[in-house]
Amino acid sequence: MEVAAAKAIGAGIAVLSLFGVGLAMGNIFSTLISSVARNPAARDIVFPIGILGFALTEAVALFALLIAFLILFT
Amino acid sequence: MAVEGKAIDALGQFELGTVLGPVGAAVGFTQSNLYMLISAGLIFVLMMSGMRARAIIPGRMQGLAESAYGFIDDMLQAQVGEAGRRFLPFVFTLFMFILFGNMLGLFPYAFTYTSHITMTFTLAGIVFVLITFVGISLHGRKFFGYFFPEGAPLWLAPIIIPVEIISYLSRPISLSVRLFANMVAGHVMLKVFATFVVMLAGLGTVGPFLAVAPLAMNVALVGFEVLVAFLQAYVFAILTCIYLHDAVHLH
């Protein structure tokens, strides 16, 4: 197998982890919405933690993208 | 050119060259340095001109400067408590530097200095060294008790301690890669969609009408990138505060 083909396949496999990240993102915001729906007064407490969770999960997605780029370009 | 042969050149925008003509070439003054100086100058102007008025009821500029300061102060007090106040200048500088770096990169022809791993790893490394130093100077040898949570059964120690050490050592890596990858991914997407606009617009008479679609996508993407710029600066700052809480209070 040529190196370029192997790199392309490797990069494709590397981003399969985004499946878990998408699941987690949906989880964060669905919990955020239902907790605010149960107790609207908690919005100012819960929202910053929700945004922090979103950013940390997005970081995992970008780690996967980074690995894909590393496989493809080096 | 953005399109070379069959591939779109998305990563070439991050290469550095010297600016300011022969003077810059002599000392190696790059776009990164230039935008770091611009960002430092802007932060300085914001804080100095904002606080010049010193009114009890703040005007707009003073309100802006005070709200930036208060945002970081509240974050530190909520996370670390009163002992965290002495880190306020450091966390404030960190937050404003990263925020202005991310935001300035969104202007056309500007350079995002936080899109280089050397830059973000230096910042994350400074935070990591500071946290370790604060932890050891405040708690001495008990700092290493951080890696073994109390109340855990002793037979788990050979498993827990290496895992805790590895997750502690991965903090600067995750901090730096998070910021770096967010900035790189955002700007690569902008470049790719912009190249689509150019490629589509060249396709005969119907081309320019087709090119509106990637252009609209780019507009939405710039809006998203403004949000990501602020969010990544906030996440860097709040993770610094959380690590400071761990160092000062040892869980």
CATH number at residue A21: 1.20.20.10
Q: How many domains does chain A have?
A: 1
Min Cα separation A62/chain B (Å): 6
Nearest to B164 by CA among B138, B146, B190, B142: B146
- All residue ranges of chain B with pLDDT < 70 are 1-6, 251
User: Alpha helix (H) ranges present in chain B?
Assistant: 21-27, 31-51, 60-79, 88-104, 117-139, 157-201, 207-210, 212-249
Residue B234 is which amino acid?
A: Y
- The residue range of the domain holding A45 is 3-73
> Closest residue of A to B230, CA-based?
A55
Nearest to B175 by CA among B237, B245, B236: B236
What pLDDT sits at residue B221? 94
CB proximity list for A19: less than 8 A, separation 6 or greater: none
> Closest residue of B to A70, CA-based?
B181
- All residue ranges of chain A with pLDDT < 70 are none
CB atoms within 10 A of CB B129: 11
Q: Rounded to 10 degrees, what is the CA torsion of A58, B196, B106, B38?
A: 130
* Cα–Cα distance, B57 to B245 (Å, whole number): 33
Contacts A52 to B, Cβ<8 Å: 235, 238
Q: Rounded to 10 degrees, what is the CA torsion of B93, B96, B99, B103?
A: -130
| Contact call for residues B95 and B103 (beta carbons, < 8 A) | no
What pLDDT sits at residue B13? 86
* pLDDT 10s digits, B90-104: 999 999 999 999 999
> Is B177 close to A56, i.e. CB distance below 8 A?
no
What pLDDT sits at residue B3? 64
> Is B238 close to A52, i.e. CB distance below 8 A?
yes
Min Cα separation B33/chain A (Å): 25
Min Cα separation B182/chain A (Å): 7
What pLDDT sits at residue B172? 93
> Is A73 close to B231, i.e. CB distance below 8 A?
no
